[in-house]
Amino acid sequence: MNGYRIRTAEERDIDRLTELDALCFSMPWSREAFHQELCENPLAFYMVLESEDNVIGYAGLWMILSEGHITNVAVEPAMRRKGLAELLLRELFQQAGDRGIQRFTLEVRPSNVAANGLYEKLGFVVMGRRKQYYEDNGEDALILWRG
């Protein structure tokens, strides 16, 4: 897609990712959590999506043996429904695949219509449910797998 760039996330992205998370999630990650993920966690791999040098989305995973455990996916609210999360995740799958990842999994709220639609489009299927997984409202988590 023209005008967008996807690259590996770096330490310099931490402030913007913290800001973006606060816009996108009811339980956003702290700056320290992003620091841990980008600078200290050897299993973590994150990519950012830029438009005109401004980070407008990100996605990441933990690489555990041949499995990719997706931790977060987010696109700035004003930039949604343009196919950008799909673009970002397809690139993440490609890059993770190059690093030996064969299957992907994640947890999602049943009430998150946008995310469930996205994951279904990308070939994820529901394989289980964790009861009362989310601390803020006690909502269950659906466990999805792809590949």
Ligand X SMILES: CC(C)(COP(=O)(O)OP(=O)(O)OC[C@H]1O[C@@H](n2cnc3c(N)ncnc32)[C@H](O)[C@@H]1OP(=O)(O)O)[C@@H](O)C(=O)NCCC(=O)NCCS
> Using CA atoms, how far apart are residues 32 and 89, in angstroms rounded to an integer?
24
Annotated catalytic, 134?
no
Closest among 67, 117, 128 to 93, alpha carbons compared: 67
Tell whether residue 115 is a contact of ligand X (CB under 6 A): yes
Closest among 47, 52, 57, 1 to 24, alpha carbons compared: 57
Annotated catalytic, 133?
no
Residue in 30, 36, 112, 132 binding ligand X, rule: CB under 6 A = 112
Tell whether residue 113 is a contact of ligand X (CB under 6 A): yes
Residue in 19, 28, 35, 83 binding ligand X, rule: CB under 6 A = 83
Residue in 6, 75, 96, 144 binding ligand X, rule: CB under 6 A = 75
List residues bridging with 36 in a β-sheet: none
Tell whether residue 123 is a contact of ligand X (CB under 6 A): no
Residues taking part in catalysis: 107, 119
